[in-house]
């Protein structure tokens, strides 16, 4: 394990503990995601700044606002890193208002609003929201039952690409067909296919890289293939580093992370700890070179966000149960 990866893991653990100290009753998974936001810059979250931004968010949103929902840890973490939290929050709220004009209310919408606020000017919000809606409807045309509100943040990120939305949706469907017999969980496979569509290369080459990466992980006794893991596998597979080295780093990162007392106690599920180990390895390797050109300019920060979105957009157990019959119908029909 190289020094950069070890430093990222240490920073991740410290930031997760800081988030949990402020959001004691919230999901441990979202505390981890809040910590991951700081990885690209190597920043340390400050408890005082988090508390201040948490109060700021509550003071400027209604009691039942989705901005106070499951994604609030991510929003507060992002605000605490900003030099002007009030300014960023106002942009997020404006972006959220634009999104609500086109998409149904959901707890996934706030993170989509953050993406718009972080990477676009306010006068561009409408353009990218409409591109995201066009892509969402294209995906829904292929999979009317699978494409739910959890896809909106990923559609927003995909809308930043300079590629045609129809072409991206078509390539997503090709990747889905190539992968659907190799993994479980139709919605997660579709999410993975969306992520692959953001990278350069043919669908056959990209899906082949995913399957090879899974084989390397399985060879190291790392059963990477649950419904919550496979979207993140797509981004990991697009790293330029040889896959044998990547799988070795994931193994070492997983062992190192499990030794941390905090994670050993709270992250009792092997799959969840393994998931974050893979994301940490992914974020320690620059895979922006393979990312399709973006209209917003630089690709490096966006490539780091893809692995976070792979977890944010993955349907929860409750959502999978509610849509279970729909998933079965979709799989049977296809």
Neighbours of 81 (CB within 10 A): 17
Give the confidence band of 284 by pLDDT, cuts at 50, 70, 90: confident
Instruction: Check: pTM over 0.75? Answer yes or no.
Output: yes
d(CA 56, CA 278): 33
Q: What is the pLDDT of residue 187?
A: 87
d(CA 187, CA 166): 20
d(CA 173, CA 20): 38
For residue range 154-172, list pLDDT tens digits in order. 999 999 988 899 999 999 9
Q: What is the pLDDT of residue 70?
A: 80
For residue range 211-266, list pLDDT tens digits in order. 999 999 999 988 777 777 888 889 889 888 899 999 999 999 998 888 876 675 55
d(CA 139, CA 146): 9
Give the confidence band of 300 by pLDDT, cuts at 50, 70, 90: low
Task: Read off φ and ψ for residue 227, nearest 5 degrees.
Answer: -65, -30
As beta bridge partners, residue 294 has 161, 297
d(CA 145, CA 129): 22
Of 59-63, 67-71, 222-226, the poorest mean pLDDT is in 222-226
Q: Which residues of 90-125 are buried (b: 16+ CB within 10 A; e: fewer)?
A: ebbbebbebbeeebeebbbbbbbbbbbbbbbeeeeb
- Helices assigned H by DSSP within the chain: 3-22, 28-36, 47-59, 72-81, 85-100, 109-119, 125-142, 152-159, 165-179, 186-197, 203-219, 230-237, 243-259, 261-266, 270-283, 300-312, 317-322, 324-333
């Amino acid at each position: 394990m190289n020094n950069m990866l070890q430093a990222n893991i240490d920073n991740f653990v410290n930031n997760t503990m800081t988030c949990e100290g402020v959001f004691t009753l919230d999901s441990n998974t979202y505390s981890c995601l809040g910590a991951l936001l700081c990885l690209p810059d190597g920043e340390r979250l400050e408890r005082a700044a988090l508390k201040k931004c948490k109060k700021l968010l509550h003071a400027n949103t209604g009691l039942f606002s989705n901005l106070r929902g499951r994604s609030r840890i991510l929003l507060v973490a992002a605000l605490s890193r900003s030099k002007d939290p009030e300014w960023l929050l106002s942009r997020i709220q404006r972006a959220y208002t634009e999104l609500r004009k086109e998409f149904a209310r959901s707890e996934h919408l706030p993170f989509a609003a953050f993406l718009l606020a972080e990477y676009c000017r306010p006068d561009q919000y409408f353009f990218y929201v409409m591109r995201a809606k066009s892509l969402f409807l294209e995906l829904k045309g292929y999979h009317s039952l699978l494409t739910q509100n959890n896809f909106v943040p990923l559609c927003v990120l995909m809308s930043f690409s300079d590629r045609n939305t129809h072409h991206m949706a078509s390539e997503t469907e090709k990747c889905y067909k190539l992968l659907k017999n190799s993994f479980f969980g139709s919605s997660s496979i579709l999410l993975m296919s969306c992520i692959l569509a953001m990278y350069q290369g043919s669908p056959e080459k990209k899906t082949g890289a995913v399957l090879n990466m899974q084989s390397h992980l399985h060879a190291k006794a790392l059963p990477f293939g649950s419904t919550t893991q496979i979207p993140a596998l797509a981004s990991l597979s697009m790293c330029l580093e040889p896959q044998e080295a990547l799988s070795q780093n994931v193994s070492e990162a997983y062992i190192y992370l499990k030794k941390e007392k905090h994670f050993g106690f709270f992250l009792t599920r092997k799959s969840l700890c393994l998931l974050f180990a893979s994301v940490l390895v992914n974020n320690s390797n620059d895979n922006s070179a393979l990312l399709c050109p973006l209209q917003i300019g630089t690709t490096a920060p966006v490539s780091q966000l893809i692995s976070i979105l792979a977890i944010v957009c993955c349907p929860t157990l409750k959502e999978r149960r509610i849509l279970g019959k729909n998933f079965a119908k979709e799989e049977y029909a296809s």
